[in-house]
Amino acid sequence: MLRLRSVAGLGRSHLRLKSSPQLRSVRASSIFAPTDSFARRHVGPLDSADTEHMLKTLGSASIDALVADVIPDKILTRRPLSVQPQNGFSESELTARLKEIANKNTVLRSYIGAGYYGTVVPPVIQRNILECPEWYTSYTPYQPEISQGRLESLLNYQTLVTDLTGMSIANASLLDEGTAAAEAMLLSFNALRGKKKTYYVDSSVHPQTLSCIKSRALVFDIKIVQELPSDDKELFGAVAQYPSTDGSINDFSELGARVHAAGGLFSVASDLLALTLLKPPSEFKADIVFGTSQRFGVPMGYGGPHAAFFAAADSQKRKIPGRLVGVSKDRLGDDAYRLALQTREQHIRREKATSNICTAQALLANMAAMYAVYHGPKGLQKIASRVYSLTSVLATAIKSLQYKIVNETWFDTLTVEVADADKILSHAVSMFGINLRKIDSKLVAVSIDETVTKPDVLDLVSIFANLSDVPHASVTEDTLDDIAGTLAISVIKPAIIPESFRRAGKILNYKVFNSYHTETEMLRYIHHLQTKDLSLANSMIPLGSCTMKLNATTQMAPLSWPQFSNLHPFIPRDQAQGYTELIAELEADLADITGFDATSLQPNSGAQGEYTGLRVIKAYLEAIGQSQRNVCLIPVSAHGTNPASAVMAGMKVVAVKCTAEGELDILDLETKAEKHKDELAALMVTYPSTFGVFEPRVKDAVNIVHDRGGQVYMDGANMNAQIGLCSPGDIGVDVCHLNLHKTFCIPHGGGGPGVGPICVKSHLAPFLPGHPVVSMAGDEMAAIQPVAAAPWGSASILTISWAYIKMMGGKGIIRSTEYALLNANYMAERLREHYPILYKNAEGRCAHEFIVDIRGFKDSADIEAIDVAKRLQDYGFHAPTMSWPVAGTLMIEPTESESLAELDRFCDAMIAIREEIREIEQGSQPKDINVLKNSPHSIKDLMRGDWDRPYSREKAAFPLPYLRERKFWPSVTRLNDTYGDLNLFCTCEPLALENID
């Protein structure tokens, strides 16, 4: 576009041609091409000499030749992608383009509430956790010896939740409040083994939460009622909000007693900040308490991601969904943290699971925990008291203008009766830049948060004053001072919660919440925990099926921009035009990449994406009069979330065999599809398979199911091996989910966040999930009810995947896939002489991951996969995926982001470990006490004076030369898993007799 620009020193205007980065497409060979191109920074071995070396090792003439060996001819399409720009933005161009989009968002003051509030993110937490790669690039802490930092922080989170809710046990977070509500309902339902079918949802519950509950209830034929039935014989549970969505504070003791009398469980949705002042829900006998910890220092982010909390009575500890951090002992007898009770998780229980929860929101839970640590009990109560005091001042001022406030009690929210709600909302936006919440045509709500200042309160009162029937109504700051004086409210003496609802006793009487209140101490505590955890900042994390690739800094930086972080998810759509544009582009790019027609970004995890895809299939089948179809065929090799999600979607799981070569047994599939042809709803298939190969007959499998009236669902966990070379849509699949936290560079965050969008063919598009508060594009009549609390799920981190796609471009993103295949096959070739490699195709190739077989060493040396996994920690590496999909094996996925040097370093470590196993096989090392059985070795372990082991300290700590300069130390020795589960302890130790003033 033409743009006039005034140039200092020339004294006149120049006519300058400036093209938008959105339209820029400069060939890499052009002198005008920017020098900060991204693809070469993302792909590890892009150097031609490294590539040639790797191809020579493999005996391949070119990458194209390798790809042809890896992907069957019938599957390989190499369809050009429409992603623009084709050559990708440079990093500076991407930043400029994203700023253009961000500036289309209008950041007003939003006092909408309903589960989303303004918050002050402490800079020490923003810079050192949210923006710190050591925190956001680590993996779920399944290897506890190298995860003690975030495990400790998550234990702090669990302690925070149990203390404020008054419950016995809490998990390490769930996806969002809506998901937590649905999980609470299902836990209650399953507690009575599904024998009762009625669930009461109190009118106090947020509307988006109600929709998520209804969505989950539908497939179980659970009847949701909002008026208590006259007869409780079918009642299995109830849920209420405390404080209520209208702001009122209610004593739910009577409701809880009634539910218990019927034999059911009583759940309460609550607010952690309010609970610093209010009686905990445990005092009215709640069995389950859940909510969101967003306002503990986590930005609204247009809906997410945020960490939900979920706490329960002790009787439910083995049924509570999600991950649970507990305290155990290590080999030296010292306390150490680990994920507890894992046998109850879906990846083990599969179709018998009562939840399909796979991931959590660890990064956001850690931010919330640190917020509590930083402020401490007194600081949190000071913030809460200020919120309550300002709300009380506002209530008095609004009442003086002759408005009726519907709720007689409150913590932070007032519901006001008005003549015309739309007029109030419009006036608030146009004249004051403030968003309020519309309840109905005569009711509006306003929610106060910690960001509110005196001028903000003045503006809020002025909104109502300007439209008041009171003659000459006006308000000044002096008016507010007078009201505060009349109410006897000050900093020294804030407003006091009514005694009937007031909390008694101390909160958070634990050392960790009473120690780190200066920034210096807080910074050191965060850094201390950080040093205990291995992340991508230390070394590659070669976890099969997890795609731990680069999370580039340029992609991550916009997370902290206020235009993305400070938007409430329920603002008018015209205030989020930037988000609308970015979301539309991302949806289109993902649909193009996968070969589909439409996309939903609402699911907050891969497992939630699976569930959503199957729900969409069910809705489609019902719409065409095929509601009897409820059988889902799932290969035995599938990830545990597949059968668990199918059950959650109301389907019956029928397992399909795999062949000895790791391929789908087509004959068994056809036999079972024919047997169930009248009830067949879907086939769930992962591609490439979980065994790490492209199955040549996948199209045959698709046709078998389609011919018998079923739909085909593809698990997109392995999409990193497909992009630009083949696609689910081209294969003939109807729906797939993607893991944006795998293929599309959202970091794993130590166990969340994640995004699991689904892409569908046109016939399924009308059924993509809708939302009760925000109107979304699509057929709202046909749309399934929401699966998440916010319309676009974890909207703020969609910027990461959008940025990755746009910087790689339509051509570069295909290059990523090619190098993912090259890296995996190179490593497999290097390790082939030392370990058996399972499941290769006819050409001897794997896809983007491969399986190393450790099983034979059990007989020869009494060494198992866990011993190799733990020994890798001594070499500075996180273990590959252990004992899945085949017990006793390791599955390795290097991704395209790792350099040849790093690939070789890992291979050298694996080869050195093989030699250590050989020493045991040859008898030079004993089978019971050796360097593998005792791994990993902490500094404390090595400093023990009584070293009586048959190997040296040097061999334990520095088995290869590079470790002398570049050593990551496990902070504890191997954990005792059995002790941790038999002695379940999931909170911090309280301060026994210490008195903290």
Give CA–CA dist 60/381, Å, rounded. Answer: 66
Positive or negative: CA dihedral 183, 189, 190, 192: positive
Reported as a single tens digit per residue, the pLDDT across 260-291 is: 999 999 999 999 999 999 999 999 999 999 99
Look at residues 934, 941, 942, 944 and name the one whose alpha carbon lies nearest to residue 974. 934
If residue 683 lies in a helix (H) or strand (E), which one and from where to where? strand 680-686
Q: Given the DSSP bridges, would you call strands 735-738 and 711-716 parallel, antiparallel or unpaired?
A: parallel
Question: Contact at 8 Å (CB) between 865 and 854?
Answer: yes
Average pLDDT over residues 957-970: 97
Higher pLDDT among residues 995 and 186, named by residue: 186
Specify the pLDDT at position 778: 64
Cα distances (angstroms) measured from residue 911 to each of 539, 903, 904: 17, 12, 10
Asked if residue 13 has pLDDT above 80, the reply is no
Specify the pLDDT at position 27: 66
Asked if residue 721 has pLDDT above 90, the reply is yes
Look at residues 75, 716, 126 and name the one whose alpha carbon lies nearest to residue 367. 126
Side-chain-side CA neighbours of 499 within 13 Å: the count stands at: 0
Question: Under DSSP, is residue 152 helix (H, G, I), strand (E, B) or coil?
Answer: helix
Look at residues 617, 592, 615, 612 and name the one whose alpha carbon lies nearest to residue 601. 612
Residue 581: count other Cβ atoms within 10 Å of its Cβ. 16
Give CA–CA dist 534/640, Å, rounded. Answer: 26
Reported as a single tens digit per residue, the pLDDT across 501-541 is: 999 999 999 999 999 999 999 999 999 999 999 999 999 99
Specify the pLDDT at position 777: 66
Beta bridge partners of 446: 414
Instruction: Write the DSSP string, 289-358.
Output: EEEE-TTTT---GGG----EEEEE-GGGTTT--S--EEEEEETTS-EEEEE--GGGSHHHHGGG-S----
**Sequence-separated (6 or more) residues with CB below 8 Å from residue 153:** 365, 366, 369, 370, 529
Tell me the two tokens of residue 882: 């252990």
Rounded percentage of the chain residues whose pLDDT exceeds 70: 95
Question: Under DSSP, is residue 686 helix (H, G, I), strand (E, B) or coil?
Answer: strand
Average pLDDT over residues 754-773: 96
Asked if residue 16 has pLDDT above 70, the reply is no
**Sequence-separated (6 or more) residues with CB below 8 Å from residue 283:** 166, 253
Q: Given the DSSP bridges, would you call strands 711-716 and 680-686 parallel, antiparallel or unpaired?
A: parallel
Alpha helices by DSSP H, listed for 43-147, are 48-58, 63-70, 91-102, 123-125, 133-136
Residue 574: count other Cβ atoms within 10 Å of its Cβ. 9
Q: Given the DSSP bridges, would you call strands 308-312 and 288-292 parallel, antiparallel or unpaired?
A: antiparallel
Higher pLDDT among residues 45 and 532, named by residue: 532
Tell me the two tokens of residue 737: 């989910």
Asked if residue 985 has pLDDT above 90, the reply is no
Specify the pLDDT at position 17: 33
Q: Given the DSSP bridges, would you call strands 837-838 and 758-760 parallel, antiparallel or unpaired?
A: unpaired
pTM exceeds 0.75 for this model: yes
How does residue 799 score in pLDDT terms, banded at 50, 70 and 90?
Answer: very high
Give CA–CA dist 552/803, Å, rounded. Answer: 9
Reported as a single tens digit per residue, the pLDDT across 326-366 is: 999 999 999 999 999 875 455 555 556 667 776 789 999 99
Asked if residue 10 has pLDDT above 50, the reply is no
Please provide the average confidence, as pLDDT, over all residues in the chain: 93
Matching residue, tokens 């965050």:
749
Asked if residue 321 has pLDDT above 50, the reply is yes
Measure CA 100 to chain center: 27
Reported as a single tens digit per residue, the pLDDT across 381-433 is: 999 999 999 999 999 999 999 999 999 999 999 999 999 999 999 999 999 99
**What do you get for the CA distance between the two ends of the chain, in Å?**
64
Alpha helices by DSSP H, listed for 445-498, are 454-466, 477-486
Give CA–CA dist 153/150, Å, rounded. Answer: 5
Asked if residue 4 has pLDDT above 80, the reply is no
Reported as a single tens digit per residue, the pLDDT across 679-719 is: 999 999 999 999 999 999 999 999 999 999 999 999 999 99
pLDDT-wise least confident of 95-99, 171-175, 585-589, 775-779:
775-779
Tell me the two tokens of residue 673: 């599809």
Reported as a single tens digit per residue, the pLDDT across 588-600 is: 999 999 999 999 9
Matching residue, tokens 């500076």:
92
Specify the pLDDT at position 559: 96
In one letter, which amino acid is 553? Answer: T
Reported as a single tens digit per residue, the pLDDT across 891-922 is: 999 999 999 999 999 999 999 999 999 999 99
Specify the pLDDT at position 342: 72
Q: Give me the phi and psi of 709, to 5 degrees please.
A: 85, 5
Reported as a single tens digit per residue, the pLDDT across 138-184 is: 999 999 999 999 999 999 999 999 999 999 999 999 999 999 999 99
Matching residue, tokens 């009762």:
196
Asked if residue 130 has pLDDT above 80, the reply is yes
Cα distances (angstroms) measured from residue 948 to each of 929, 942, 944, 945, 952: 10, 11, 10, 9, 9
Specify the pLDDT at position 5: 31
Look at residues 494, 486, 483 and name the one whose alpha carbon lies nearest to residue 457. 483
Specify the pLDDT at position 610: 96
Average pLDDT over residues 862-871: 98
